[in-house]
Amino acid sequence: MDDVRFFDRAGPFTLGEIAGWIGAEIARGSEALRIDDVGTLTLAGPGHISFYDNPKYERDFTATGASAILVAKRNSDRVPDSAAALVVGDPGRSFNEIVRRYYPDALRPSPIWDDAPAGNGIHPTATIEDGAIVEPGAIVGMHARIGRGTRILSGCVIGQRVQIGRDCSIGPSVSVTHSLIGDRVILHPGVRIGQDGFGYAMGPAGHAKIPQIGRVIVQDDVEIGANTTVDRGALRDTTIGEGTKIDNMVQIGHNVVVGRHCVIVSQVAIAGSATLGDFVAIGGQAGIMNHVTIGDFAQVATLSAVRDDLPPKGRYGGVPARPAREWLKQTAALQKVAQDYMSGRRREKGTDENVRKREPD
């Protein structure tokens, strides 16, 4: 797929300018250092600025290629020698302010057209390959591309720069923004792809919106059920692997990576930055917490809550999710305890009644 950017970037800015925005101390580095963009510790390279405030990402911190890193004072001496160090009280909140300066247009939904639509609802800059069909009432935005054999049904909204591959079926009232869609993808009615992920820097002064500047990548042969939502990434992409099948009313948060040929059943909720391996199966109404990794071929039972990483190939269930055999044994033991308790209560009640019957009036 093409390397499409959905937001125009401001800048570049100098390290001195950035430090002035957030009241940072430059512990190491030149004020004149040019910073072109923002990025995560893993994706940042030369000319990028990132931040570190969670020991879970210690390995990423020490290996990052970023040119500058925001850190708390306690970590200022640990910044890699290759990077400038900016010391702030709250690295995450300060980084959010920097992202807002580089990508101010990401704070609200992007326009589909640069003026009011006219005629058939297809923007003049959009590319519609021969054999593609855009039904009446559908809107195709600026610089969007629709592949041969794809049908965009009535009521759809296809955002600017979105790319949809060949032989796809995009159902009624679907919205697709900030996304690249592969070939032979089926989106059922009401699917929402590419909207903001839920991200705020919370504090006593209120909740500052975190710009979501990533994309959604949907690979070939994916099918997504009615009213399912897939949020775009914050700094990196949300990805749905090829051949994956997703049921109705599923929520997939920002930065989530779903592997190839997964099956995700109705009303599953997957929180931000979770990762599913290949051929993972998730039962209905299960919840997956943020930053959790589920290994290849794992199966998670319905109504389970996954709060820790799950190894590959296992079967898991319960709250919290654990190996299925362990979960079933614990459930059976708990039921037995409850039954024994209730039986004891009934025996005590029967004894009390017999005593009362023998007592003289």
DSSP string, 77-138: GGS-TTSEEEE-S-HHHHHHHHHHHH-GGGGSPPPS-SS---TTSB-TT-EE-TT-EE-TT-
Catalytically annotated residue among 178, 254, 261, 291:
254
Handedness of CA 19, 25, 29, 32 (dihedral sign): positive
- How far does CA 334 lie from the centroid of its chain? 36
Query: Phi-psi category of 116—alpha, beta or left, where left has phi over 0 and alpha has psi -120 to 50?
Result: beta
Using CB atoms within 10 Å of the CB of residue 139, give its burial: 0 to 12 exposed, 13 to 18 middle, 19+ buried.
Answer: buried
CB 153 within 8 A of CB 138: yes
What does the H/E/C string look like for 311-347?
A: CCCCEEECCCCEEHHHHHHHHHHHHHHHHHHHHHHHH
Q: Greatest CA span in the chain, whole angstroms?
A: 100
- Establish whether 254 is a catalytic residue: yes
Cβ atoms of 12 and 36 within 8 Å: the answer is: yes
C-alpha dihedral sign at 342, 343, 344, 348: positive
Just list the catalytic residues.
254
